[in-house]
Amino acid sequence: MPKKSIALFLILLLMIQGIALAEQAEQKEIATDSKPIVEGAEACEDTLKDKLGILTKEDTISALPGTEGLKNDEIKIGADVYKFNCEDNKSYKVGDSAKVYFQINGDKKCALMIQRDPEPTDFDLYLFFRNLGIMPYYDGAYNAENRTTRAEAARYAVILLGYQDAASDATNSKEKKQCFNDIANHWAYGYVSVGKSIGLINGDQKGDFRPDDDISCEQILAVIIRMLGYEPAAKKYGGYPHGYIKITDELGITKGMEKAADHAATRGITSRLLFKSLFVKMMKQTGYKPVIYLYPSNEQQISVRLKLKGKLTYTYPQYNDGWKVTAKPDGTIVNAEDGVEYSYLFWEGQFQTPGLKLDRGFVVKGEETTKFLQEKLSQLGLTPRERNEFIVYWAPKMQSNKFNLITFAGKEYEEAVPLEISPKPNSVLRIFMIYQSLDEPIKVQPQEVKSFERKGFTVVEWGGTEVK
């Protein structure tokens, strides 16, 4: 299976530059389709399906495994050959209409599921999640009627959000943190530890997680809502369990299985709910605080345009169809339209960066955030003035968190917000910080921080966002 990391938003999702426009996540109704939305947030085009790199195609089965030169783990649908790991190839027939769900791994198409009915069967969903590496049941061990345990649910959610590596690191750590009283020696320790840290799961009042207990459908729905970022909307409707049930209904996750919350969370029901959640647009809390500095070698006129794949919500000075300014080597800017002097160009906007990952970065204690930013921003190449203006904006929003997962985006941000500057600068530094509040530390791969050398006409931009 191809290795995919998403994240919360990873998951999330991430996605953006700036500060959340509304720090209290409220729920609103969209009049056109009555879908819930969080104030200061938008349902973006990203879904878990997109973040996992899952593609679909409809055609007819043209050759079976082991025939017409195919290997025993290959099947041909239309003109395409797919690697397909299936225990029972006998049920597939040439000429069957099929919808194939697949991922691309190198030069191979890897089929996760070949659906021939209007809705996937329990066996289809078993293959789908097994081939994704989420439900590793083989030789009949799946059994759709078996109950889903709380530990299994934690595993499913953490992997879907792209935190599998973090869970593995937690499992292999010599020093296991006591996230719950009863989890330290359990096979699912890593998944539960990470799931708790990113806010997916809770324990009971005694501090136990009860990993081997059956999970209820109401609890599964709550985990799904947190995965997708709609928990503030669920809380607006009264919280657990009714608010979560209402939101999953409005999002279409329980369509066709409206009484799901009243039933036990079997693996069959869990698989179906998770599968439906893959197609729901994830909620992103967004808002931005980018600052652009211009340092020409000599005083000169400069035009700056943002090729934003989204929408601007505020600019200073007024943007119109771009900024036209006179800039000096010390960074002073005079706007051509109003003749007023500015220290930098400011803009806020909303956009998504689908390729954003939180699999590398730094986990920092909240009270150590200022010191961390001083060090890393210096390494990245900000001047004392630029660094100070960054820190006084962001540190107050981060220092009260127990921990912060921090990463600095690169090409994902630059592709989402290309800058068009004339004359062309000799050097450009764009710093885009993404952070997520954590209740407990998790292990991530350290991010390499590269230094920046200023040459000639230099442009510097900084901004950031909190992923929730």
Tokens matching residue 54: 């899952």
Beta-carbon-side half-sphere exposure of residue 83 (alpha carbons within 13 Å): 12
**199/237 same-domain check:** yes
Weakest-pLDDT range from 63-72, 304-313, 391-400: 304-313
What whole-number distance in Å separates Cα of residue 365 and Cα of residue 374?
Answer: 14
Q: Which residue has the higher pLDDT, 398 or 5?
A: 398
Residue 102: CATH number of its domain = 2.40.50
Residue-level pLDDT at 29: 28
Mean pLDDT of 298-317: 89
* Boundary residue ending a domain (218, 240, 270): 270
Same domain for 179 and 88: no
Q: Tell me: do 237 and 342 sit in the same domain.
A: no
Tell me: the pLDDT tens digits for 33-71? Answer: 334 434 434 444 578 998 899 999 999 999 999 999 999
Q: Are residues 309 and 438 in the same domain?
A: yes
Provide the 8-state DSSP code for 226.
H
Residue 22, pLDDT > 90, answer no
Contact 51, 162 (CB under 8 A): yes
Q: Which domain holds residue 394?
A: 291-466
The single residue listed with the structure tokens 């345990």 is 149
CA 114 and chain centroid, separation:
27
Same domain, 124 and 155: no
Count of all residues that appear for the chain in the document: 468
Q: Are residues 258 and 387 in the same domain?
A: no
What pLDDT is recorded for position 91?
85
- Per-residue pLDDT, 390: 95
**In a shared domain, residues 461 and 338:** yes
Has residue 14 been placed in a domain? no
Would you state the pLDDT for residue 33?
34
CA–CA dist 78, 128 (Å, integer): 20
**378 class by beta-carbon count within 10 Å (0-12 exposed, 13-18 middle, 19+ buried):** middle
pLDDT at position 10 over 50: no
27: in domain:
no
Structure-block tokens of residue 297:
């070698």
| Contact in structure between 329 and 299 (CB atoms under 8 Å) | yes
Both 372 and 461 in one domain: the answer is yes
Q: Are residues 240 and 296 in the same domain?
A: no
Read off the pTM: 0.64
What is the rounded average pLDDT of the residues 333-340?
Answer: 96
For the stretch 108-143, pLDDT in tens is: 999 999 999 999 999 999 999 999 999 988 766 778
For residue 179, the tally of other CB atoms under 10 A from its CB is 21
Cα 145 from Cα 143, distance rounded (Å): 5
Query: Average pLDDT for residues 289-293, to the nearest whole number?
Result: 89
pLDDT on residue 235:
80
Q: What is the pLDDT of residue 358?
A: 66
Residues 119 and 262 in one domain: no
φ, ψ at 209 (rounded to 5°): -100, -25
Q: 100, 131, 162: which is the final residue of a domain?
A: 131
Residue 23 belongs to some domain of the structure:
no
Write the burial class of residue 328 (CB in 10 Å: 0-12 exposed, 13-18 middle, 19+ buried). Answer: middle
Query: Tens digits of per-residue pLDDT, 244-280?
Result: 999 999 999 988 776 666 677 999 999 999 999 999 9
Mean of per-residue pLDDT scores for the chain? 84
Residue 143, in any domain of the structure: no
pLDDT of residue 409: 84
Whether 21 is covered by a domain: the verdict is no
189-236 pLDDT, tens per residue?
999 998 988 888 999 999 999 999 999 999 999 999 999 988 877 887
Is 4 part of any domain? no
> What residues pair up with 431 in beta bridges, in sequence order?
462
Asked if residue 1 belongs to a domain, the reply is no
| pLDDT for the residue numbered 303 | 97
- State whether 357 and 241 are in the same domain: no
Q: Is residue 142 part of a domain?
A: no
State whether 346 and 244 are in the same domain. Answer: no
How many independent structural domains does the chain possess? 3
